[in-house]
Amino acid sequence: MTHRSSRTKTWARWLATFIGFPAAGFTARLVVGDVDDVAAAAIGGLTAGLVLGAVQALVGGIPRERRVRWTVATAGGLAAGLAVGASAVGYRTDSWSLAVMGTVCGLGVGLAQGFSVPMRDLDRWLWVASTPVLWAVGWLITLQVIVDAERQHAMFGASGALFVSAVTGVLVALRRPFDENSSVVSHATMVSAGAS
């Protein structure tokens, strides 16, 4: 397999994690209903984060020994981010408020995920810096499709999730942020390929 086709396969695998976002939102709605107070935001964020983190860990190719840390970190980051972000905008659902909430949620998730598993410094800070922006855009894209934003959802929908997963997939494919040391991983891959 060429390096380019390997990157494309890695990107496509991460793109498939987009299903975690609507699944996370659906689960949070079942658990808390509308995100209209800090308790609902924290519990909804925790619930949604567990679902999203688990899907990303399983579908996205995170190494088995790091999946639990990734899932727990995602849950904690989203619980804190949604509690702070939703309350900061007074639980409003206009486009500006949802973009701000998405930024705060993305920051919580990006920081938690970025420090939950080993990454090279550049990869870690790209992840932390891009996640808030992408989550804000995810909400703005979803607002073009969703018809019931006033129901105070915990998570943006599939349209925003496709965008977020496609862009973060590029980071995963190009930088391999879940590998402790990509040169060691690449060397081990070449050695095992040569042995077969």
Q: What is the pLDDT of residue 57?
A: 97
Residue 192: pLDDT band by 50, 70, 90 thresholds?
very low
2 versus 26: which is more confidently predicted? Answer: 26
Q: pTM here? A: 0.86
d(CA 51, CA 67): 12
How does pLDDT run across 72-108, given as a tens digit for each residue? Answer: 999 999 999 999 999 999 999 999 999 999 999 999 9
Q: Is the pLDDT of residue 196 over 90?
A: no
Name 190's Cβ contacts closer than 8 Å, sequence gap at least 6: none
Residue 187: pLDDT band by 50, 70, 90 thresholds?
very low
Residue 1: pLDDT band by 50, 70, 90 thresholds?
low
d(CA 187, CA 157): 39
> Distances in Å between the alpha carbon of 136 and those of 7, 15, 47, 64, 102?
26, 18, 20, 30, 4
